[in-house]
């Protein structure tokens, strides 16, 4: 039996122009169906975007390979249209948004640390106080 490839957690940051923030939110309230399918088909899973009122955007998704997910989207016609329309929403971005984001480094993941605990420690009951 083949085991599933582990998913990598990808978190990234972009800055939406504050004057375009309302429109950015509207565009993401109803993303084109062919764009949604392309993302899912090319390995962008559990994908979420979060935005602050000043335009700070944080994105998160899980994928078997960031490079393969980006390459897969680059081959789709819908992604070229979407990136062309979205590019002007961002501050100081010289690349399409799906290539120009700042990837953040993960420093903590609860499930990884819980899984790494020795079995005895994970199951141990706290000692009663004297």
Structure-block tokens of residue 4: 């599933």
| Distance of alpha carbon 14 from alpha carbon 18, whole angstroms | 12
With tokens 């249209």, the residue in question is 81
**28 catalytic per annotation:** yes
Which own/partner contact pairs does 34-42 have at CB distance under 8 Å and 24+ positions apart?
Answer: 34/78, 35/78, 35/79, 35/82, 38/73, 38/76, 38/78, 38/79, 39/73, 41/72, 42/68, 42/69, 42/72, 42/73, 42/76
- Say which of 8, 28, 45, 109 is annotated catalytic: 28
| Distance of alpha carbon 128 from alpha carbon 45, whole angstroms | 44
So which residues are the catalytic ones? 28
């Amino acid at each position: 039996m083949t085991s599933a490839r582990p998913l990598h957690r990808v978190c990234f940051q972009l800055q939406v122009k504050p004057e375009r923030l309302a429109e950015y939110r509207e565009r993401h309230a109803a993303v084109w169906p062919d764009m949604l399918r392309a993302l899912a088909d090319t390995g962008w899973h559990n994908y979420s975007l979060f935005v602050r009122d000043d335009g700070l955007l944080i994105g998160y998704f899980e994928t078997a390979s960031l490079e393969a997910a980006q390459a897969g989207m680059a081959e789709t016609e819908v992604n070229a249209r979407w990136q062309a329309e979205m590019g002007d929403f961002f501050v100081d971005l010289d690349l399409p948004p799906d290539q120009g984001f700042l990837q953040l480094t993960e420093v903590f993941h609860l499930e990884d640390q819980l899984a790494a605990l020795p079995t005895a420690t994970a199951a141990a009951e706290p000692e009663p106080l004297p």
